[in-house]
Amino acid sequence: MIPRTTAGLFWGCLGGMWLTVAACGQSFQLPTANHALFEPGGGEKFFVGTTGRTWESGTFGGVRSGGYQLHEGLDIRCLTRDKRGEPTDPILASADGTVAYINRKPSLSNYGNYIILRHRIDGIEVYTTYAHLGKVRDDLREGLTVNAGETIAIMGRTANTGEGISKDRAHLHFEIGLLLNDRFAGWYRANQPGQRNDHGNWNGQNLRGLDPRLIFLEQQQEGARFSLTTFIRTQTELCRVQVRDSHFPWLTRYPTLILRNPVAEREGIAGYEIAFNYVGVPYQMIPRAQSELKSKASVHLLSVNAAEEQKNPCGKLVAQRRGTWELTATGQRLISLITY
């Protein structure tokens, strides 16, 4: 366990314990040579907006369709091009990790060619996604270990969408995310019958994004004190849901997000209270005893932070009907997937 206080970290880092030093250093590196994110007013140089829109539409969140469409990553501008104007920026692993998935068939995804890396940072299993790639490194295979800063691909503009990506908008779409369920493929078959899933568990629906810009900036500001766990635990709450389920994969995958509750520890756990941010990241779970459960329903919406819903409606997880907040079909699907 890494000490959490500043003094503790100070001694931990000075104690010559290299593992500790590495663990409390920066967690993620920028995935290309474009570092304008850290320059004052560098947004224009770092991000690429959607066609006809300003650079802000290339950032994370509800930045499209008047705030109603969620963009779960960053669109990072290309720096170098070949004679034909095609991007040539090397794409770099953002942290030490292993290759989780490679899609080399651009026609099978709106991400085009893409790579997903698996990392363990601050005790959290976290994934980075690199999309619209040109060339994926030939020797890259699932399971292969990669080091932070290692070249894994060359930037491109692949995508299976009709409009495609124009040369002037060439960019890397980069995500940092958490995996909702390692039984996704089965859930998808059961819940979206007849629909194709070419990517098994590595379907974009199974990864929930964290805002990489906030992570990079907080890391830079806090240095060794940055903690990914704290970053996730301190998300802004959109809503709170109670489920009558005490064993689901998210609990075992992300145990550091579970809070303690002596009542449930004493009486036995009958369900969980889950806090979601606007993207749908279940960032906090509280075990609940039978005596504490608020409803007999298997899924029950406990509360909604209306100000957050108004500020960030793009996740579309909750909606008001006749003055009462309800989970939307999207919200219900998310809970069904988490608890599958």
Which residues lie near Zn ion (CB under 5 A)?
75, 173
Residue 46 backbone dihedrals phi, psi, to 5 degrees: -95, -45
Q: How far is the CB of 48 from Zn ion (least distance, A)?
A: 8
Question: Would you say 46 or 187 has its CB closer to Zn ion?
Answer: 46
Q: How far is the CB of 73 from Zn ion (least distance, A)?
A: 5
- The answer to whether the Cα torsion of 191, 276, 123, 33 is positive or negative is positive
Going from the C-alpha of 296 to that of each of 188, 216, 290, 333, the distances in angstroms are 27, 42, 10, 19
Question: Which class for 321: exposed (0-12), middle (13-18), buried (19 or more C-beta within 10 A)?
Answer: exposed
Question: Would you say 75 or 245 has its CB closer to Zn ion?
Answer: 75
Question: Would you say 159 or 338 has its CB closer to Zn ion?
Answer: 159
Decide if 102 contacts 160 (C-beta within 8 A). no
CA dihedral 235, 237, 240, 243 (to 10 degrees): -20
Question: Which class for 177: exposed (0-12), middle (13-18), buried (19 or more C-beta within 10 A)?
Answer: buried
User: Looking at beta carbons, which residue is closest to Zn ion?
Assistant: 173
Question: Would you say 77 or 173 has its CB closer to Zn ion?
Answer: 173
Q: How far is the CB of 204 from Zn ion (least distance, A)?
A: 11
Q: How far is the CB of 226 from Zn ion (least distance, A)?
A: 24
Question: Would you say 131 or 317 has its CB closer to Zn ion?
Answer: 131
Question: Would you say 207 or 239 has its CB closer to Zn ion?
Answer: 207
Closest CA to 175 of 219, 232, 131: 131
Q: How far is the CB of 171 from Zn ion (least distance, A)?
A: 7
Decide if 288 contacts 270 (C-beta within 8 A). yes
User: How many other CB atoms are found less than 10 A from the CB of residue 96?
Assistant: 18
Q: How far is the CB of 32 from Zn ion (least distance, A)?
A: 14
Going from the C-alpha of 284 to that of each of 42, 230, 241, the distances in angstroms are 34, 11, 11
Q: How far is the CB of 54 from Zn ion (least distance, A)?
A: 15
**For residue 107, what are the contacts with CB-CB under 8 A and spacing of at least 6?**
160
Say how far apart CA 165 and CA 307 lie, in whole Å.
35
Question: Would you say 73 or 287 has its CB closer to Zn ion?
Answer: 73
Buried b or exposed e, range 241-265, using 16+ CB within 10 angstroms = bbbbbeebbbbeebeebeeebeebe
Question: Would you say 77 or 137 has its CB closer to Zn ion?
Answer: 77
